[in-house]
């Protein structure tokens, strides 16, 4: 499998490229519209054909490239069934399978950061793309877009942390320059996972008092339209 972790400096977003070496088919996870040309250039250099683009959730800190990439390549675009994005080609739900060539992703519904948050597990390679649900030494905020700290605690403890401990964790963002972790490492060292109950986790998240993302009022409606800014 061809794998690339791509970083958007403006929003500290990670985009992931997965390519099947046999078929030459590829998918992108969480693409950023400002980087559309660079994605297409990389795909060409690697002799890959983009078949699928997915977003882990409706982002509030950047505008998605789903619509732009579908227009440029004819790829299928997908988001979770809870997303308010009628523009996507298809939707997915918990435990669905997404296949590109021989690459198989297991869809995991992991709400809490938003109510349409999903993660993608690749069992064969032992890789988890955790979106904004599980970050490296952190977790996604739960104070807007129908976020729910108790739901996120369940997503973490009953879904993601049940995966094998050597599963590699690739988050949707990182603000410290870290690129990956593992389930076992996060269980042991993530300070937000060292709580004894959902109530304790919810109280911790409520105390964060974070400012809204700068682009939220622009990005959310744009991303509900697959990257088309609101008129």
In this predicted structure, the answer to whether residue 229 has a pLDDT above a threshold of 60 is no
Taking residues 114-130, report their average pLDDT. Answer: 97
Residue 85: other Cβ atoms inside 10 A: 22
- pLDDT the model gives residue 230: 46
Chain segment 4-50, per-residue pLDDT in tens:
999 999 999 999 999 999 999 999 999 999 999 999 999 999 999 99
- pLDDT the model gives residue 61: 85
Taking residues 198-213, report their average pLDDT. Answer: 91
In this predicted structure, the answer to whether residue 231 has a pLDDT above a threshold of 50 is no
Range of the domain at 115: 2-212
Within a domain: residue 225?
no
Domain count, the chain: 1
- pLDDT the model gives residue 22: 95
3-state secondary structure of 163: coil
- pLDDT the model gives residue 119: 98
Within a domain: residue 41?
yes
Within a domain: residue 228?
no
In this predicted structure, the answer to whether residue 99 has a pLDDT above a threshold of 90 is yes
Sheet holding 127-131, edge to edge: 97-100, 103-109, 118-122, 127-131, 168-171, 181-182
Taking residues 162-169, report their average pLDDT. Answer: 98
Chain segment 48-63, per-residue pLDDT in tens:
999 999 999 999 888 9
CA–CA separation, 226 and 159 (whole Å):
28
For all residues of the chain together, what is the average pLDDT? 94
CA–CA separation, 96 and 60 (whole Å):
25
Within a domain: residue 224?
no
Within a domain: residue 180?
yes
In this predicted structure, the answer to whether residue 169 has a pLDDT above a threshold of 50 is yes
Taking residues 173-198, report their average pLDDT. Answer: 96
pTM above 0.85, yes or no: yes
3-state secondary structure of 8: strand
Q: How confident is the model at residue 144 (pLDDT cuts 50, 70, 90)?
A: confident
Q: How confident is the model at residue 224 (pLDDT cuts 50, 70, 90)?
A: confident
- pLDDT the model gives residue 210: 83
Within a domain: residue 84?
yes
- pLDDT the model gives residue 118: 98
CATH of the domain at 96: 3.60.15.10
Within a domain: residue 217?
no
Taking residues 176-200, report their average pLDDT. Answer: 96
Within a domain: residue 229?
no
CA–CA separation, 184 and 189 (whole Å):
9
DSSP code of residue 179 = -
CA–CA separation, 183 and 181 (whole Å):
7
Q: Which of 129, 53, 128, 121 is nearest to 85 (CA)?
A: 53
Taking residues 90-114, report their average pLDDT. Answer: 97
CA–CA separation, 24 and 18 (whole Å):
10
């Amino acid at each position: 499998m061809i794998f690339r972790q791509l970083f958007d400096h403006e929003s500290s977003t990670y985009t992931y490229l997965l390519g099947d070496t046999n078929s030459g088919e590829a998918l992108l996870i969480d693409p950023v519209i400002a980087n559309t040309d660079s994605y297409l250039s990389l795909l060409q250099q690697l002799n890959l054909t983009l078949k699928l683009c997915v977003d882990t959730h409706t982002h509030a800190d950047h505008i998605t490239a789903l619509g732009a990439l579908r227009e440029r390549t004819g790829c299928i675009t997908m988001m979770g069934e809870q997303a308010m994005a009628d523009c996507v080609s298809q939707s997915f739900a918990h435990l669905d399978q997404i296949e590109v060539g021989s690459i198989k992703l297991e869809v995991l519904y992991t709400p809490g950061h938003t109510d349409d948050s999903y993660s993608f597990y690749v069992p064969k390679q032992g890789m988890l793309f955790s979106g904004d649900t599980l970050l490296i030494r952190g977790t996604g905020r739960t104070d807007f877009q129908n976020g729910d700290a108790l739901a996120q605690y369940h997503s973490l403890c009953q879904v993601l942390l049940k995966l094998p401990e050597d599963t590699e964790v690739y988050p949707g963002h990182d603000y410290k320059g870290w690129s990956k972790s593992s389930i076992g490492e996060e269980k042991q060292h993530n300070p937000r996972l060292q709580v004894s109950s959902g109530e304790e986790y919810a109280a911790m998240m409520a105390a964060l008092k974070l400012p809204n993302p700068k682009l939220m009022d622009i990005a959310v409606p744009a991303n509900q339209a697959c990257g088309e800014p609101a008129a």
